[in-house]
Amino acid sequence: MTDDVGRGWFEHGDPTSRDQRRERIDAGSAERPEDWPTKAVAAGFATDRTDYYEKLHEATIDTAREIVREQELADDHQLIHAVRAMDDCERTANELAERLAEWAPTITGEDGTGIDYARVVAERDPETPAEERVVSLARQVVALADERDALREFVERRTQSVAPNLSALAGSILAAQLIALAGGLKPLARKPSGTVQVLGAEDALFAHLRGRATSPKHGIIYTHETVRTAPAGHRGSAARALAGKLSLAARVDHYSGERKPELDADLAERMERIHAREAER
């Protein structure tokens, strides 16, 4: 669009085309501002200044609305699909790796487990029809594990832009998993922190509600190191405190979108106090 540099947003091929107007406002540029209202009237784009501002109002609202809509479609929905695909790849790779760990040693004579073992088997040059199948299966496992890593990288990057504060507090992967479990950033932001605390522990929660178990202390936030490393007996308080701060971060991300570094410090301080309780006893 370099030929448009230095021209007003209204100077384009077809002034009646909404798409073109949006494109010009969104992607156009100029080194310096000019007296655009006067130029627009002189160019016949508007009959007078009032008419110009009316048209500008309509065009800027139209453009902003479209950007917001695209962003919303793009952001957390893509993120949710990616997180779920990442979990699927992980689960499937592990499941097939287990199958491989049972099968492959009967042919190769070498024992092993997991994805690393699949990588070793995948390197083999198969000599029999059975070995061909085993090696091919191992390559599928490796491909799935690689796809999981690529999805993970995508999720990390995307979460940092969708939910900068939640990512900073929870880590990008846990943040993305919470968003996926809640069904989006907005639903997550609207959940009470007690619900956030047990997201991912629905089975245990419903068992508790039916009166068959104690209430779960934590759901997926268990993967957060401040909960995992909290002294036994204080894990519930750590989970509750973390859930409170994560809820707050999700709300800031959803409603303001602005990064607030002070949230990190609040969480660190709160966790330090909980972890210090053990020392006092």
Binding site residues, other proteins, CB under 8 A: 4, 6-9, 24-26, 28-37, 53-54, 56-57, 60-61, 63-65, 67-68, 71-72, 253-259, 261-262, 265
In angstroms, the CA 81 to CA 235 distance is 31
**Listed residue (174, 197, 161, 200) closest to 76, CA to CA:** 161
Q: How far is the CB of 173 from other proteins (least distance, A)?
A: 21
Q: What angle do CA 68, 70, 76 make, to 5 degrees?
A: 90
Q: How far is the CB of 141 from other proteins (least distance, A)?
A: 39
Q: How far is the CB of 138 from other proteins (least distance, A)?
A: 44
Q: How far is the CB of 84 from other proteins (least distance, A)?
A: 22
Output DSSP code: residue 125. -
Is the Cβ of residue 62 or residue 88 nearer to other proteins in the bound state? 62
Burial (CB count <10 Å: 0-12, 13-18, 19+), residue 198: buried
Is the Cβ of residue 122 or residue 178 nearer to other proteins in the bound state? 178
In angstroms, the CA 7 to CA 1 distance is 11
**Backbone angle region of 159, left / alpha / beta, with phi > 0 → left and psi within -120 to 50 → alpha:** alpha
Q: How far is the CB of 275 from other proteins (least distance, A)?
A: 22
Q: How far is the CB of 8 from other proteins (least distance, A)?
A: 6
Amino acid at 107: I
In angstroms, the CA 93 to CA 138 distance is 10
Helix (H) or strand (E) holding 153: helix 129-162
Give me 187's structure tokens.
């639903």
Give me 151's structure tokens.
């999805």
Give me 69's structure tokens.
């809509």
